[in-house]
Structure 1
């Protein structure tokens, strides 16, 4: 069985990695919120989603979080009348990405808070390790 502090650090670091990936995906969605298709009638950028899963860490025996999948959101595209746009279909409608900025901002805030919580766990574990080293020196 692994040291509880090592297990704690492993769990927190897996959370940091997962939330970092989530923040990257949210950033991609925000950056492409206005990206239309390249040709007439083509599909625009499709919102990406992150699905988490858990896995057993063989070394520590702890259940850690991982990114199970980066998928796409199947929400329908919004069509907007813009006949001058190169991506417009024969009727003058352009498909817009299915990215909702409010949803992305909420996801970003939640991921940021989860990331910060995992950072605090790492800081606390590091502090406990330093206190233990100080005790051993005495």
Structure 2
């Protein structure tokens, strides 16, 4: 339960940061000269699967269990107790666990969520616009603008917003299930 909240929280944090980068791109779409004297460079957030060592919300009690993929699990992912299967007693519940791919750095199945590995700058030249009266115009009268397409950036912003909302819904659902489990 806590792991699902951690995964959703990592997605929320990553998409919030993605929205900030997109907003920066939109705000600087017409900046022809930055502090370095060059046009603004469009930025893109680079995301990767988080591992146990790089996860934002990982702890020792959230580490993957060493049980098989169809082992019985108890509350919060711990192994289920061996209890008799009687009509009036508690029963273990078998919860399928999604298999993860093993990589050189450990599991790669998204079981620790996502993390931001960096922010990449666009290495393109940008677009040239003929504006002979502009202070940044070259000898031929062309001004180099950043390679930022505001329509594409708005589509990316809507995408990030939807993913943010989906992660928030997962977090809220996990929180309400945890609260219901505590009320039992």
Same fold (TM over 0.5): yes
TM-score scaled by length of structure 2: 0.66
Say which structure, 1 or 2, has more relative contact order (CA 8 Å, 6+ apart).
2
* Runs (4+) off by over 4 Å: none
Paired residues of 1:38 and 1:86 also in contact (CA < 8 A): no
1:13 maps to which residue? 9
Please, what TM-score do these two structures have when normalized by structure 1?
0.86
| 2:43 aligned partner | 48
Mapping of 1:60-79 within 5 angstroms? 60-61=62-63, 62-79=111-128
Match of 2:155 among 102, 106, 111: 106
Corresponding residue number in structure 2 for 1:35: 31
Between Structure 1 and Structure 2, whose CA radius of gyration is higher?
2
> Do structure 1's residue 129 and structure 2's residue 161 form an aligned pair?
no
**Structure that is richer in helix per residue:** 1
- Cα deviations across residues 38-77 of structure 1 (Å, max 9, x unaligned)? 69xx531110011101121352233320111101112331
Question: Would the alpha carbon gap of residues 85 and 55 (structure 1) be closer, same or farther in structure 2, given more than 3 Å must change?
Answer: same
Aligned residues: 129
Q: 2:138 aligns with which of 89, 96, 109?
A: 89
Q: CA RMSD in A?
A: 1.6
For 1:69 and 1:92, the matched residues in 2 are separated by 36
